[in-house]
Amino acid sequence: MHTHPDDVPLLTALSALADPVRIQLIRDLASRPDWALSCSNFDVPVGRAAKSHHFSVLRDAGLVEQRDQGAKRLNRLRREEFDARFPGLLDLTLRADATE
């Protein structure tokens, strides 16, 4: 199930973007075309279960959409929809100095 960004409260969006691992996932997605990365393609310092949890948080916040293709789960950043709901928030998150 995917939550549309229009249905996401601001606090949920901010909470989803407050974790360094989730910021890295978002940055990786932003740098690639839609549906180019499967969950196993992300190099983050957490185990499989934790990575699954982070993707769940991002889906619930309307940031990520996922679809299964064979044995892979592909991802896309819902940038256009999220930007329409929260203008500028994703741009701030993706800035290089946002987590420093």
Residue 53: Cβ-neighbour burial (10 angstroms; 0-12, 13-18, 19+): middle
Task: State the DSSP H helix or E strand holding residue 16, giving kind and residue range, or none if neither.
Answer: helix 10-16
Q: What pLDDT, on the 0 to 100 scale, is given for residue 41? A: 87
* pTM > 0.75: yes or no: yes
Contacts of 61 (CB under 8 A, 6+ apart): 3, 5, 8, 12, 13, 15, 16, 17
Rg (CA), the chain: 13
Q: How do residues 26-36 score in pLDDT, each as one tens digit?
A: 999 999 989 98
Q: How do residues 78-92 score in pLDDT, each as one tens digit?
A: 999 999 999 999 999
Q: What pLDDT, on the 0 to 100 scale, is given for residue 100? A: 52
Q: How do residues 2-55 score in pLDDT, each as one tens digit?
A: 899 999 999 999 999 999 999 999 999 999 989 988 988 898 999 999 999 999
Other beta carbons less than 10 A from residue 15's beta carbon: 14
